[in-house]
Amino acid sequence: MTHYVGPAMIALTIDQRPVAVPAGSTVLDAARQLGLDIPTLCHLPGAPDHRPSCMVCVVRIGNAGRLVPACATPATDGMVVSSETPDIHAARRAALELLFSDHLGDCVAICERVCPAQVPIPAMLRLAAGGELPAAGALAREHVVFPGVMGRVCRAPCQTGCRRGKFDGAVAIKAVERVAAAHELAANEKFIPACQPPTGQRVAIVGAGAAGLSAAFFLLKAGHACVAFDEHAEPGGTLRHGFTEQELPRAILDGEIDVIRRMGLAFRPQIRLGRDLALADLQKDFQAVILVVGRQTPADLAGLGVALTEHAIAVDAGTRQTSVPGVFAGGSGLRSTYEPVQSIGDGRRLARAVNRYLAGQPTGGVRAEFTCTIPTLDAEEYQAWAQGSIAALSPYAPVGDRAQGIRRAGMPRPQQQADAPVGDVAQAAGRCGQCDCRAADSCRLRIHAARYGVNPRAFSGEHRRRFALLRQPGGVLYEPGKCIACGICVQLTARAREPLGLAFIGRGFTVQVGVPLNGALSDALQKTAADVVRHCPTGALAFERKKEERSQESEDRSQ
């Protein structure tokens, strides 16, 4: 009688935790079986003859001085492995910083990075450039809350940061947002943003200006009930009382506030805190209170029962919480100037802090995301970048005519915006150079950099790669400056027997991944486009349209 004998098992320990793996396993295999998160960039599971190149997965075997790559080191019986010591972390950090020394890519577009509301501007402009104006307006609303209002009164720091501004005029982001918002409301008269199921938690918001209404928007989306109190008869604060009808038509403001009302906001007018209502009463009836009361005199603030600075309510800079637990404050009353988009950003941060407080989580400030930026492009690089961007994104976008903005593109006056020809808006939006990284949220290089506290400029020198971009219209784009030559895409195209595929081109320090024989990217990735994009660790290979943009477009078409 023949008995089946399973594969020989190897016993080892990693960080003092025992594990048994089949013969032929690597240290990385053993670590993953234990649930240990050893970082990798160049590793492709199941690939034969793997040759490590990134060196971010290093570990120490026994008491040996040198470090070895976990992905290529065979596990042996009785092996003792160290993975999470300070010196190993330092080595991984150095390996990552060396990769960044030759990395040329923006994690977040400059325009989005300087926007206080963090609107995903390139994604919005991609939708607008493709004629998907209601979807572009909806995407803007998810971040800025009042896209139609901000398209009129925002000072547009995004346009100041636009990379095109230095060369041939910034993209007319503010105007595109304004028109997209008009199309969104016209197409969705009863549009209500999706909200989570009710949590049973109630939040009082004192002050129904930009910050208060923004906080309400995001808290309602999280499933909390919100009641806004304001001393005026109508909500809007300075948006309503600080701008003329010509600057900000009241119909536009009311239409966008009505979206928040339909989400469930209850408004209590002509109630002033300290005169008609005490903070202690709110604390009895609500699980959290947000104070966004604008600029107040010391006498007005004195009776609130919270700690004060010389001219404002005192808050923790990270949590936005006052000296009274469960009471938060923000908005223009804590700043020396009024800026609507800054107040909207304040509202979002307040909602995030309150949401964490209601969930019983620490309300500490959110750590700033890791970001890497492309240095200033020279004129030759800019031309290659701009020409490629315009030509691929929209049939309306002019290559020869450098349209400065919507006015030059023939855009109607504000009262006609909802009926503006889609092609005119697409022409203005199509000027966007699409500086954002399509894989910013999933880029393993960025994730590991944040984890290990990487300084992306630690090894910066006088010389850097030249910017280049290969794109397959409507499909995959390739940015060689982001490529770390891990070889994963080369292996995948070879495994799938692509007729052309991808290959290493050049030698030594100049080696890079490219299409053999100067072929087109679309010819190289006939069968494996989705596979190489999914496995690329740095977003060097990505789809022209991000997944959520394609999903939004499909959803719009199905309705």
Confidence of residue 87 (pLDDT cuts 50, 70, 90): very high
Q: Please check the confidence at residue 139 and state whether its pLDDT lies above 50.
A: yes
Which option is the CATH number for 458-558: 3.30.70.20, 2.60.40.2380, 3.40.390.10, 3.40.640.10?
Answer: 3.30.70.20
**DSSP states of 37-61:** ----SS--TT-TT----S--SEEEE
The most confident of the ranges 164-173, 448-457, 465-474 is 448-457
Reported as half-sphere exposure (CB side, CA atoms, 13 A), residue 213 has a value of 30
**DSSP states of 91-117:** HHHHHHHHHHTT----SS-HHHHH-TT
Sequence-ordered list of residues with C-beta below 8 angstroms from that of 507, at least 6 positions apart, any chain: none
Mean pLDDT (the chain, rounded): 85
CA distance linking residue 89 with residue 69, whole number of Å:
13
Q: For 202-358, which CATH superfamily applies?
A: FAD/NAD(P)-binding domain (3.50.50.60)
Question: What does R_g of the chain's alpha carbons equal in angstroms?
Answer: 27
> Token digits for 349?
């941060």
Phi, psi of 347, deg, nearest 5 = -60, -40
Taking only the tens place, the pLDDT of each residue in 400-413 is 333 333 333 333 34
Which option is the CATH number for 9-84: 3.40.50.280, 1.10.1040.10, 3.10.20.740, 3.40.50.2300?
Answer: 3.10.20.740
Taking only the tens place, the pLDDT of each residue in 174-228 is 999 999 999 988 887 666 888 999 999 999 999 999 999 999 999 999 999 999 9
Query: Please, where are the H alpha helices in 188-249?
Result: 210-221, 238-241
**Predicted pLDDT at 387:** 65
CA distance linking residue 277 with residue 391, whole number of Å:
59
Q: Where are the domains of the chain?
A: 9-84, 110-189+376-411+418-429, 202-358, 458-558
Measured between its terminal Cα atoms, the distance across the chain in Å is: 65
Q: Please check the confidence at residue 516 and state whether its pLDDT lies above 70.
A: yes
| CB atoms closer than 10 angstroms to residue 30 | 26
